[in-house]
Chain A
Amino acid sequence: MTLRLGSTVVSPTADEPAVQVRGLVKRYRTTVAVNGLDLTLPRGQVLALLGPNGAGKTTTVEICEGFLRPDGGSVRVLGLDPVADAPRLRPRVGIMPQGGGAYPGVGAEEMLRLVAACAAAPLDVDWLLRVLGLEGARRTRYKRLSGGQKQRLSLACALVGRPELVFLDEPTAGMDPQSRLLVWELVAALRADGVSVLLTTHLMDEAEELADQVVIVDHGAVVARGSPSELTATDDQQLRFRTRPGLDTDVLAGALPAGCVVSEPRPGTYVVRGTITPQVASTVTAWCARHEAYAQDMRVATRSLEDVFLELTGRELRS
């Protein structure tokens, strides 16, 4: 039952999560793209789906958007079925598909006005073009826009209808640092205004900065989940520093107190795990000095999300 009060729809599903996915499975001919994935996005929060290329992020989002049918499991978006209830759901959701989308010959403003016409109470199109830095591209044909401009137009199209929930599939791909910062500010403003956001990214700092909850996926399944601070929490301390890549860490480990472990997770970045004391830092500096090198950016730290990510998803390149 749905009660219609003016233009506001009050549905009995108002306290259900924004997105709830249980045991999701999606197969393409020979490959399993999503394999038993669960996630819950509570209302008004930001969830980042983090994973390497081909992990199943876009497939998951497109199923939540109702563009793909799941082969197994259940998906509820704002308490509704994204495929069967699409006509009721679409007006309430803002979607930024990966790579955007518009008529090749349409002007940026013309496209945004068309999408705005589909909403009951759209944001002001002129204002939106201005804050997204598309003022100068109003009349530029879509196919002539730069990658970053296309992304910003696509974002504008996702937001113009004042949705309750937005799906942002790699929102900062192809953007310059200024645009990325703008998107981050936008997502923070959406969250502050009570909009639920599900975004995908393969950028650690983006997930760490924006998300209440990070879900790390690989090979179509969840490998870790939690708030950025939960994911990076660890019992043992770490000393991180940078110096010349490829130095012999066995020598350093031998010089350190028992229980300290040395690794080089990325060429030139070294991590000492164990009980970190000033003596440890001094030993590290001396070891570097023997190799005629400085120990740079030395800090005692918890794990970064990147460490967690690489630990969980491995190091080999994905297509």
Chain B
Amino acid sequence: MTDVLSPESRFAPGTFTPSPGRGRVSRMLFTQARTELLLNLRHAEQLLLTMIIPMALLIGLSTLPLLPIDEPRVDSVAPRVFALAVISTAFTGQAIMLGFDRRYGVLKRLAATALPRWSLVAARVLANLAIVAVQLLLLGVVAAFLGWTPSLAGVAGGVCLLLLGVAAFGALGVLVGGALRAEAVLAIANAVWFVLLLAGGVVLPVDSLPDGLAAVVRLLPSSALAEGMESVLREGAFPGWAPLVVLLGWATVAGVSAVRTTRLT
């Protein structure tokens, strides 16, 4: 090789002397989760999906007599909109972000660093939980102004359902976002969100759907989460094992499938 390293080279000898090693795991995990959270929070379409649409539905359905819902309307609407918020973030938002992240090669880039594989997933989970926390805080405050009076006895059950909901929809989001082309992910994730919103037991109670459809919809994670949230937060009642089993089942099946199908690029 010829002497490219002339005396006026901009790199002093010893600049690149190897000193490799893994960073602190807590710092890696925190930095990646914070980066993903900030990316979500400054992404306009994500905010529309995760914050603005759920907020508009909360206010609209609580104040206008659009749907056959018992009074006080906000006591039914708020828990169902919480469920929608989880679907928006963990499923649709996550699938779309993942689809485009793969397109731009970020998974390969991160896999090429010292980040352990589990922390690639853990950081996404943390970022999603943080977004859901922000959503619930904002939606909860607005609901309170609309006269929402949740049953405090149901709060613990509600948190359990939310965590299971994030797990089930998060796994489904990775399943869709981790295997298909970005454009296909965009189309499917938005279409599924819209169908679940209208016919998946989210805003319309399952009981108001035709019988045949209702039987199917009861097995969907969307209805399990929305109906479960309404029963714990409105009545403070144990939602029964059915919604817990449905959510856990979807989380397991989608999670196991996603591990097999997710590709880095």
Q: Mark A186-209, 1 if CB is under 8 A from B, else 0.
A: 111111111100000000000001
Assuming the contacts A104-B100, A195-B16, asked whether A209 and B1 have C-beta atoms less than 8 A apart, the reply is yes
Which residues of A sit under 8 angstroms from B16, Cβ to Cβ? 123, 159, 162, 189-190, 193, 195
B28 at the interface (CB under 8 A from A): yes
Any chain A CB within 8 A of the CB of B208? no
The 0/1 profile, CB within 8 Å of A marked 1, for residues 87-124 of chain B is: 00000000000001101111111011111100000000
Name the contact of B1 in the complex, choosing from A91, A110, A211 (C-beta under 8 A): A211
**For this complex, into which size category does the number of interface residues on chain A fall?**
35 or more
Please classify how large the interface on chain B is, using the bins under 10, 10 to 19, 20 to 34, 35 or more: 35 or more
B221 to chain A, nearest CB (A): 28
- Residues of B with C-beta under 8 A to A190: 16
Interface of B, secondary structure class, is loop
Is B18 a contact partner of A194 (Cβ separation < 8 A)? yes
B31 contacts across to A, CB distance below 8 A: 113-114, 117
Are B35 and A106 closer than 8 Å at their CB atoms? yes
Do B14 and A193 touch (CB < 8 A)?
A: yes
Contact of B109 among A93, A101, A164, A185 (CB under 8 A): A101
- For residue A131, CB closer than 8 A to chain B, the reply is yes
Interface SS of chain A: mixed
Q: Does A118 lie within 8 Å of B5, measured CB to CB?
A: no
B240 at the interface (CB under 8 A from A): no
- Which of B15, B38, B104, B112 meets A104, CB within 8 Å? B104
Query: Is the pair B23, A117 in contact by a Cβ cutoff of 8 Å?
Result: yes
- A289 contacts B by Cβ under 8 Å: no
Partner of A163 from the list B5, B18, B101 (CB cut-off 8 Å) is: B18
* A148-171 near B? 1/0 per residue, CB < 8 Å: 000000100111011110000000
Which of B17, B103, B106 contacts A193 (CB under 8 A)?
Answer: B17
Within 8 A of B (CB), among A203-239: 209-212, 228
Q: Does B260 contact A (CB under 8 A)?
A: no
- Asked if B115 and A99 sit within 8 Å, CB to CB, the answer is no
Task: Report whether B20 and A161 are in contact in the complex, using a CB–CB cutoff of 8 Å.
Answer: yes
Chain B hits for A186, CB < 8 A: 11
Q: Is A55 an interface residue (CB 8 A)?
A: no
Of B31, B101, B113, chain A has the most CB atoms within 10 Å of the CB of B113
Chain A hits for B113, CB < 8 A: 90, 115, 118-119, 157, 161
Nearest residue in A to B21 (C-beta to C-beta)?
A120
Q: Which residues of A contact B14 (CB under 8 A)?
A: 193
Inter-chain contacts of B9 with A (CB < 8 A): 185, 188-189
Which of A90, A142, A159, A191 has the most chain B CB atoms closer than 10 A to its own CB? A90
CB<8 Å pairs between A and B, sample of 27:
A7-B19, A90-B22, A90-B112, A91-B22, A92-B20, A93-B20, A101-B104, A102-B104, A102-B109, A105-B39, A106-B35, A114-B32, A115-B109, A117-B28, A118-B23, A118-B115, A120-B19, A121-B21, A157-B113, A158-B112, A159-B16, A189-B16, A192-B13, A193-B13, A209-B4, A211-B1, A228-B1
